[in-house]
Amino acid sequence: MKPPSFLYARPDSLDEALALLAEYGGEAKLLAGGQSLVPMLNLRLAGPRVLIDVNRIPELSYVRRDDLALRIGATVRHRDLETSSEAKRAEPLLARAAREIGHLAIRNRGTIGGSLAHADPAAEWPLVAVALDARLTLRSSRGSRIVGAREFFTGPLTTVLDATELLSEAAFALAPAQSGFGFSELSRRPGDFAVVAVACRVRREESGVCAGAALAVGGAHGRPIHVAEVEEILRGSRGQPEALFAAAEAVRQAVDPGSDVHGSAGYRRRMAGVLARRALGEAFAEAA
């Protein structure tokens, strides 16, 4: 199949793109990398009146570090973050997650903003954004607002984005000293969407005990979820096996997966715990 006919617009500035969104609202779709949108168009799962191509807008393509955060424009490609030395120094988890996304051709074209706005519950960027509680800037012709990633995703392929808004930036706090990250993903083949995935960060004090932790799970819920109980369990521990098993059990209890051809709900729940234990072990080892 091929998509139904649509109007095509290629704005040269962010203001022009926002004006088009204000004019067409829910009848418009934004085209960035197109790795999810184009297949949906071809299958006629999406039928916009106008396609707004934002690839030529310079205000959306940057990776910048300031004193507080690494700021990433919406049209930055997955591959750019996988190879960016600036991103690796500021938040190494980003490069680690980026290399798990699809195949190289997909990473060369797909964008972080497109992935976040598409909100696939098994995708890597929504997972990492929730784990690190990224701050997402949403722009419209009326102004802008900043939303935490843990409030941004509301369900499968759904977010708090209004039809006239564009996700323009994702900001990740700089990785704190004496911290380590963990990332563990189960997929049927390299490049496939995750059946279950876990991303986490652990911060240690000088004494070696855990001073803070954050963990999120993807693929085992209708949206990526932050499991707050993990920090309560791990704080003050040294990552000993019993603490990791207790945290993994909290993760297993927190998720509410569905069943499909890739795995039953019970299998996904069990693997969420297994991957959480692995990722946390990796994070504690790296933070040592």
∠ CA 58-63-65 to the nearest 5 degrees?
130
Structure confidence at residue 163 (pLDDT): 95
Mean pLDDT for 116-128 is 97
Contact 125, 183 (CB under 8 A): no
pLDDT at 8 over 80: yes
List Cβ neighbours of 18 (8 Å cut-off, separation of 6 or more).
139, 140, 141, 164, 166
> In whole angstroms, what separates CA 177 from the centre of its chain?
23
Contact 238, 230 (CB under 8 A): no
Q: Residue 2, class by beta-carbon neighbours within 10 Å (0-12 exposed, 13-18 middle, 19+ buried)?
A: exposed
Strand order, beta sheet including 135-140: 63-65, 69-73, 166-173, 135-140, 143-148
| Rounded CA separation 168/23 (Å) | 18
Tell me, what DSSP letter sits at residue 25?
A: G
Length of the chain (residues) = 288
Structure confidence at residue 146 (pLDDT): 98
Structure confidence at residue 246 (pLDDT): 98
Task: Give the model's confidence band at 288: pLDDT under 50 very low, under 70 low, under 90 confident, else very high.
Answer: confident
Structure confidence at residue 86 (pLDDT): 94
Structure confidence at residue 192 (pLDDT): 87
- Label the pairing between strands 143-148 and 153-155: unpaired
Judged by DSSP in three states, 6 sits in coil
> In whole angstroms, what separates CA 154 from the centre of its chain?
13
First to last CA, the chain: 54
Indicate the pTM of the whole model: 0.95
Task: Give the model's confidence band at 78: pLDDT under 50 very low, under 70 low, under 90 confident, else very high.
Answer: very high
Query: Above pLDDT 90, what percent of the chain?
Result: 90
Which token pair is 157? 């392929």
Which token pair is 81? 């973050």
Structure confidence at residue 191 (pLDDT): 83
- Label the pairing between strands 135-140 and 143-148: antiparallel
Q: pLDDT per residue over 159-201, tens digit each?
A: 999 999 999 999 999 999 999 999 999 999 888 889 999 999 9
Q: Residue 215, class by beta-carbon neighbours within 10 Å (0-12 exposed, 13-18 middle, 19+ buried)?
A: buried
Structure confidence at residue 4 (pLDDT): 85
Helix (H), strand (E) counts: the chain: 12, 14
Mean pLDDT for 219-236 is 96
Query: Above pLDDT 70, what percent of the chain?
Result: 100
Domains defined along the chain, listed by start? 7-53 (3.30.43.10), 58-173 (3.30.465.10), 180-287 (3.30.390.50)
Mean pLDDT of the chain: 95
Which token pair is 240? 């000993």
**HEC profile for 72-89?**
EECCCEHHHHHHCHHHHH
Strand (E) or helix (H) holding 52: strand 50-53
Judged by DSSP in three states, 173 sits in strand
Tell me, what DSSP letter sits at residue 60?
A: G
List Cβ neighbours of 65 (8 Å cut-off, separation of 6 or more).
71, 86, 89, 90, 174
